[in-house]
Amino acid sequence: MMVIMKPGHSPQEFDAVMARIREVGLDGHPIVGVERTVIGVVGLDREHPELADDLEVMDGVESTVPISSPFKLCSREFRKHDTIVDVRGVKVGEGTVTVIAGPCAVESPEQVMLAAHAVKARGASMLRGGAFKPRTSPYSFRGMEVEGLKILAAARDETGLPVVTEVMSERSVDAVAQYADVLQVGTRNAQNFFLLEEVARTNKPILLKRGMSSSMQEWLLAAEYILAQGNPNVIMCERGIRTFETAARNTMDINAVPLIKELSHLPIVADPSHGTGKRRLVEPVALGMVAAGADGLILEVHPSPDHALSDGAQSLDFDMFESVMGNVAKVAAAVGKRIESSVPA
Ligand code: PEP
Ligand code: MN
């Protein structure tokens, strides 16, 4: 449920409401707006049928409203305005198209530095790169781990591009949080609920990939695990789902963009690299996702895709990335947006 406070309520009245919520073992999540303060009450509130009545008669409370969707804090019902995630000054969800680009995996300092400068020069505003790689086979290249994180941080220091990188397990959350600006939870961990809670506690923005067979509801409930820990900075990422189709690596679900926007206030970016698995499909699918309203793109770009240690087939070279950026700018303009500009070094 949501508790709507009266305009001009006192801090003491607010504290008393929060205390009453906690007294029954539930959590209160305040949103302080310009005109109104709203408190989201989460936990098993149906086990406290009397709570809504009790809160409604407290001083400073205007009303209580039930939230009908199973996800609460990430629902549009809870928050009407779009959430804007701010990553060191780079905004996601502010009516711009934020481009995150870089290699699938960190392979060497030279590879990352080359890619970081190249994507920045072509208009990306964040750098991606995996240091911990979830690989289907244990014999594939699994990433440079902490050494890779240090390389990413050095590239950030040199270019000013904030770094997005995956955290695969609770055991590496602290290390990843020490170096990264955005923690990515991958498709294979999208419903690893303990990991979601652990990444949330770092208070860093989280890029939450859609599980490869997650419904909208399952995906939003995964986001809810993060918001319920008090971390509102979640970026949803559509990266394609498993279907009967084998012609592409995954099936990119364009519906996800307008659906997430309807159901939730969270920003959503699209990953046409993993969504298609084929570099020639990346540009057209990227343009479609931007046209549908995506708040950004995450794209795999490698100095020499044919020599990449992972996901070379879907990685763009610098010229292809330049072409994508040029056409993304045109589609963005057609839907009343611009590309989010990168921060100066
Ligand atoms: C990645 O971004 O490199 C990655 C492994 O993504 P996903 O979890 O979507 O497969
Ligand atoms: Mn990849």
Output the DSSP codes for 294-333: -SEEEEEB-SSGGG-SS-GGG-B-HHHHHHHHHHHHHHHH
Å from CA of 103 to ligand 2 middle: 8
**Could you give the residue range(s) of every CATH 3.30.70.1140 domain in the chain?**
2-65
Q: Which of 192, 239, 253 to mutate to test the pocket of ligand 1 (most atoms within 8 A of CB)?
A: 239
**Neighbouring residues of 222: CB distance < 8 A, sequence distance ≥ 6:** 185, 190, 191, 193, 196, 208, 211, 214
Residue 11's Cα: distance from chain center in Å? 33
Residue pair 189/168 in contact (Cβ under 8 Å)? The answer is: yes
The answer to whether the CB of 143 is under 6 A from ligand 1 is no
Fold of 2-65: Alpha-Beta Plaits (3.30.70)
Is the CB of residue 102 below 6 angstroms from any atom belonging to ligand 1? Answer: no
Which regions of the chain carry the CATH code 3.20.20.70? 85-339
CB 295 within 8 A of CB 267: yes
Residue 35 to residues 28, 40, 41, 66, Cα–Cα distance (Å): 19, 16, 20, 21
Query: What's the pTM?
Result: 0.94
Q: What are phi and psi of 150, to 5 degrees?
A: -65, -35
Report the pLDDT value the prediction gives residue 344, as an integer from 0 to 100: 60
- Residue 268 DSSP code: E
CA separation, residue 114 to residues 90, 103, 109, 213 (Å): 21, 10, 9, 35
Give residue 174 CA to ligand 1 midpoint distance, Å: 20
Q: For 217, phi and psi rounded to 5 degrees?
A: -65, -40
Q: In tens digits, what is the pLDDT along the chain, a chain of 345 residues?
A: 999 999 999 999 999 999 999 999 999 999 887 778 999 998 766 678 889 999 999 999 999 988 889 998 999 999 999 999 999 999 999 999 999 999 999 999 999 999 999 999 999 999 999 999 999 999 999 999 999 999 999 999 999 999 999 999 999 999 999 999 999 999 999 999 999 999 999 999 999 999 999 999 999 999 999 998 989 999 999 999 999 999 999 999 999 999 999 999 999 999 999 999 999 999 999 999 999 999 999 999 999 999 999 999 999 999 999 999 999 999 999 999 999 987 665
- Residue 310 C-alpha to ligand 2 middle, in angstroms? 6
- The pLDDT value recorded for residue 245 is 97
Question: Could you tell me if the CB of 104 is within 6 A of ligand 1?
Answer: yes
Q: Does 209 contact ligand 1 (Cβ within 6 A)?
A: yes
d(CA 122, CA 271): 18
Distance, CA 311 to ligand 2 centroid (Å)?
Answer: 5
Ligand 1 near 302 CB (within 6 A): no
Q: Ligand 1, atom 1: nearest CA belongs to which residue?
A: 104
- In the prediction, which pLDDT does 9 show? 94
**Token reading at 31:** 């949103």
CA atoms within 13 A of residue 146's CA, in its CB half-sphere: 6
CB 186 within 8 A of CB 209: yes
How confident is the model at residue 46, as a pLDDT?
67
From the number of C-beta atoms within 10 Å of its C-beta (0-12, 13-18, 19+), residue 294 rates as buried
pLDDT at 67: 87
Q: Pick the closest to residue 87 from 164, 174, 198, 190 (CA basis).
A: 164
Protein residue with its CA nearest to atom 9 in ligand 1? 187
The class (CATH top level) of 85-339 is: alpha beta
- Tokens for 66? 């039930």
Our mutation pick for probing the ligand 1 site, out of 142, 183, 184, counting the most ligand atoms within 8 A of Cβ, is 184
